[in-house]
């Protein structure tokens, strides 16, 4: 392999020339199909690091769905329930753990994952490739591919699907650099290991942290490590379900991620599961319709008569009261934050989305107020002592 790879252009078509390269040795990546671009490689390399760490921390196959250098979803290969198979548009038959991981990662926020770049921790198998074949996606990175899986993927996008193979044993240099406005930046790589020991400093009155919550908090924290800051991540049952990335205010992260987590659960509401879609409506259009149906905009859709292009009969509205009642029953959600909570308003908002477990660095002058708010809602909160900013 060579030490560099020429790219069509940079972030935008006017940014030429563009390339990726290494200073020593050969490139740890090989393009097996397509022509990945600048942003594709940013997504691929950030996503690979995320799933590699999830695999090491949990022992389970992992997948991530990346868009614009932040994950839209990340998950490990826990089995799918029948309801999850329905809301994620997954096969009704059993599929491999790696395929389950990708279905979950894609299903966290299907609208944001439209046109994603996929990262897999393990060798891509046929089950996973068949699922990817039916999703709108820009490309994939994995340590290897089964021959039949590669054959399926190479047919995507009229043969132009971006397929990258990465050396799973590649270890980058400990010092990383980048340039902004002609000025060089240099720092040590973030080699912080995220594991269960990081969750041992529980500062709330409630100190009962089950293994499932530890797994989900680790998923949140590793996801945050590769999400543009500020960021907050809600996770549940082995997957991220709401990621608030790149916000200047911590509470806006919490609100954004909380809204996505709410939508994740509302997609499982009986009224949503029974929506009478026309048989020829593609999956992306169904995702958009479900998002609108869940939102307050649904009354406008009904008034405009647009529903006739989507549904066979006009669905009953999912009222604000019904949504509030449904969400009030959700418990056991985990939440990670890449920096401390400066105010207790974050805890109040998190409580509305079923959060029971929190991991954050601590260190705010208002830590006592934040702990008091957690105690009010009987939450468990651990101070990790580690900030996870990523830029």
Tokens of 83: 């309801």
Clarify whether 67 is annotated catalytic. yes
Where b means 16+ CB within 10 Å and e means fewer, 219-245 reads: bbbbbbbbbbbbbbbbbbbbbbbbbbb
**Bridging pattern class, strands 18-21 and 4-7:** antiparallel
Give the pair of three-digit tokens for residue 175. 């010092």
Residues 6+ apart with CB under 8 A from 128: 63, 95, 96, 98, 99, 102, 120, 149
Q: What angle do CA 22, 193, 332 make, to 5 degrees?
A: 125
Q: Give the DSSP letter string of 291-340.
A: HHHHSTTHHHHHHHTGGGGTBSSPPPP--HHHHHHHHHT---EEEEESS-
In 3D space, the residue among 209, 208, 199, 131 whose CA is nearest the CA of residue 336 turns out to be 199
Residue identified by tokens 């669905």 is: 315
User: What is the DSSP code (8-state) at residue 61?
Assistant: -
272: its two tokens: 């949503």
To the query of whether residue 134 is one of the catalytic residues in this protein, the response is: no
283 is catalytic: no
Per-residue DSSP letters for 148-180?
HHHHHHTTGGGGT-EEEEE-TT----SEEEEEE
Quote the CA–CA distance of 276 and 380 in Å, as a whole number: 41
Q: Which of 33, 40, 67, 323 is catalytic?
A: 67
Catalytically annotated residue among 40, 230, 263, 346? 230
User: To which residue do tokens 């200047």 refer?
Assistant: 248
- The active-site residue out of 68, 252, 271, 390 is 68
Residues marked active site are found at 67-68, 230, 391
């Amino acid at each position: 392999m060579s030490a560099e790879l020429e790219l069509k252009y940079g972030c935008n078509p006017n940014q030429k020339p563009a390339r990726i390269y290494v200073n020593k040795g050969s490139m740890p990546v090989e393009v097996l199909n397509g022509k990945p671009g600048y942003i594709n490689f940013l997504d691929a390399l950030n996503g690979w690091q995320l799933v590699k760490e999830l695999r090491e921390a949990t022992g389970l196959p992992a997948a991530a769905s990346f868009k614009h250098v932040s994950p839209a979803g990340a998950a490990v290969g826990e089995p799918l329930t029948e309801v999850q198979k329905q809301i994620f548009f997954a096969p009704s038959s059993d599929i491999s753990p790696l395929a389950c991981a990708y279905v979950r990662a894609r299903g966290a926020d299907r609208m944001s994952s439209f046109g994603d770049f996929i990262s897999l921790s393990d060798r891509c198998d046929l089950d996973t490739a068949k699922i990817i074949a039916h999703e709108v996606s820009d490309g994939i990175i994995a340590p290897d591919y089964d021959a039949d899986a590669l054959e399926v993927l190479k047919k995507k996008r009229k043969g132009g699907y971006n397929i990258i193979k990465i050396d799973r044993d590649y270890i980058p240099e400990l010092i990383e650099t980048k340039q902004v406005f002609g000025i060089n930046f240099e720092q040590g790589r973030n080699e912080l290991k995220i594991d269960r020991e990081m969750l041992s400093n529980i500062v709330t009155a409630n100190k009962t942290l089950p293994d499932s919550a530890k797994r989900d908090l680790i998923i949140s924290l590793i996801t945050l490590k590769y999400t543009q800051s500020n960021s907050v991540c809600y996770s549940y049952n082995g997957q991220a379900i709401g990621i608030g990335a790149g916000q200047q205010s911590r509470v806006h992260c919490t609100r954004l991620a909380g809204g996505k987590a709410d939508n994740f659960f509302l997609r499982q509401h009986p009224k949503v599961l029974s929506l009478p879609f026309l048989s020829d409506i593609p999956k992306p259009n169904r995702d958009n319709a479900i998002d609108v149906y869940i939102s307050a905009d649904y009354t406008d859709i009904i008034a405009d008569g647009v529903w006739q292009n989507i549904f066979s009969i006009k669905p009953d509205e999912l009222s604000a009261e019904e949504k509030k009642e449904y969400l009030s029953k959700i418990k056991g959600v985990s939440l990670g934050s890449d920096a401390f909570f400066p105010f207790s308003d974050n805890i109040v908002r998190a409580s509305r989305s079923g959060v029971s477990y929190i991991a954050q660095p601590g260190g705010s002058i208002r830590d006592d107020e934040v702990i008091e708010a957690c105690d009010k809602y009987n939450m468990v909160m651990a101070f990790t002592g580690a900030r996870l900013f990523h830029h």
